[in-house]
Amino acid sequence: MTKLSELIKDRESFEPTNEEDFFVFGIEVDTDDVTPPRNVREIGLIAKTEDGELTNEVLDVTISYILAGIDVLVEFPADVDIGDPRHLMATAASVNASLSFLPPKELTTESFEAYCRRLEAVTSAYLRQLTMTKFVMPVTNYLQYCYIEVLDPDASKTFVPEDGYVLSRFHESMTVDQSDLLKERIRKVIVDHFGGEYEFRTFALGLMGAVSGVVESSLAEVVEEQRSQIPPAGWYWLLRKEDSAFVMSRFDGVETWNIEQADGSLLPIPTSSAGRDHVLIEAALSPAERAPAATEADADTTKPEADCEPEAEGEA
């Protein structure tokens, strides 16, 4: 177990070399210093409670780190009093923290039964706390599996957890028989909450349908927003970043800019490349619209002056 004071002390020298090193767990809160550790994306803080409620010390660190952009997982060892699970769930929801309820270090018949009862109470509280949007381990993980069972029964038969935290904290801490029994008891609470297997299946299918609808709507909004930012087909003056020269370009309205070259020809360039190397200045008249007999003075008025520094409308 690592002490938080040590993590804070070593914050300047903490340089993760592997992706998993950005995530630290099993941290004991032994200081009231709320300085966020450097280079930490997610942290697991060992819970401390008084009369079943998280201590101010743990809560202060949790809130400070979340505000600093660090995901916080409050870890409850089996011997830490959790008081009323409903109150604990409401507290976690209010500060946007995840929770993890760890199994006993020594699983006897008595300690395993006590752990099962704890998770049954936690599951019930979790399902009733509609504002809880973070994880409650291992309940959330198994609830996700139950959804997979409904949506893709074949995939659920071969589903294997890959999350390193779940594997080390839960799967490796108990036998397969104990794990299966624990899942059965959690499942019963889930099914009973929804009123039965049929009702849960109906809810799961409805939930996934709603999520799919939201995703489709969101994608449509993104596409429409992107489309509104694309200029219509036509001729434009562009500022070439390389030499600050103004060049004519004909945009097809979709993905290609035909940009004027030194010899007067038009070179087709994809929008991504054109936007990287040019700045869109303003719409321009096409060659056909410009009077063929225009005087040199007239022609000068149709082209932006290089030393005027016109205001850019956006990237091409």
Q: Using 50, 70 and 90 to split pLDDT, how confident is the model at 233?
A: confident
Number of residues assigned to the chain: 316
Residue 201 and residue 309 share a domain: no
Residue 133 and residue 21 share a domain: yes
CA–CA separation, 243 vs 69, rounded Å? 41
Q: Is 292 exposed, middle or buried (0-12, 13-18, 19+ CB in 10 A)?
A: exposed
Residue 306: predicted pLDDT: 47
Residue range 287-296: mean pLDDT, rounded: 60
Q: Is residue 222 part of a domain?
A: no
Question: Using one digit for the tens of pLDDT, what is the confidence trace for 46-93?
Answer: 999 998 899 999 999 999 999 988 899 999 999 999 999 999 999 999
Which of 241, 248, 255 has its CA nearest to residue 282? 248
Residue 249 and residue 193 share a domain: no
The token pair at 74 is 């409050």
Q: Is residue 207 part of a domain?
A: yes
Residue 72 and residue 162 share a domain: yes
Residue 214: predicted pLDDT: 47
Q: Could you tell me the residue range of the domain that residue 48 belongs to? A: 2-217
Residue 273 pLDDT greater than 80, yes or no: no
Question: Which residue pairs, CB below 8 angstroms and at least 24 apart, start in 161-170?
Answer: 164/20, 165/23, 165/25, 165/44, 165/100, 165/137, 166/137, 166/138, 166/141, 169/25, 169/100, 169/102, 169/103, 169/137, 170/103, 170/137, 170/138
Residue 121 and residue 17 share a domain: yes
8-state DSSP, 105: S
Residue 71: predicted pLDDT: 92
CA–CA separation, 281 vs 240, rounded Å? 10
Q: Is residue 227 part of a domain?
A: no
Residue 97 and residue 6 share a domain: yes
Residue 167 and residue 134 share a domain: yes
Angle between helices 139-151 and 176-194 (to 10 degrees): 70
Residue 221: predicted pLDDT: 57
Report the percent of the chain where pLDDT is more than 90: 32
Check residues 238 and 226 and name the one with the higher pLDDT.
238
Question: Using one digit for the tens of pLDDT, what is the confidence trace for 166-190?
Answer: 888 888 888 989 999 999 999 999 9
Instruction: Find out whether 52 and 81 touch, Cβ atoms under 8 Å.
Output: yes
Question: Using one digit for the tens of pLDDT, what is the confidence trace for 184-193?
Answer: 999 999 999 9
Q: Is residue 21 part of a domain?
A: yes
This prediction has a pTM of 0.65
Residue 170 and residue 131 share a domain: yes
Q: How far apart are the first and last CA of the chain?
A: 54
Report the range of poorest mean pLDDT among 33-37, 70-74, 207-211, 299-303: 299-303
Residue 111 and residue 201 share a domain: yes
The token pair at 151 is 């949506």
- Among 164, 189, 217, the domain-final residue is 217
Residue 243 and residue 165 share a domain: no
Sign of torsion over alpha carbons 53, 55, 59, 62: negative
What's the total number of domains in the chain? 2
Residue 257 and residue 186 share a domain: no
Residue 240 and residue 113 share a domain: no
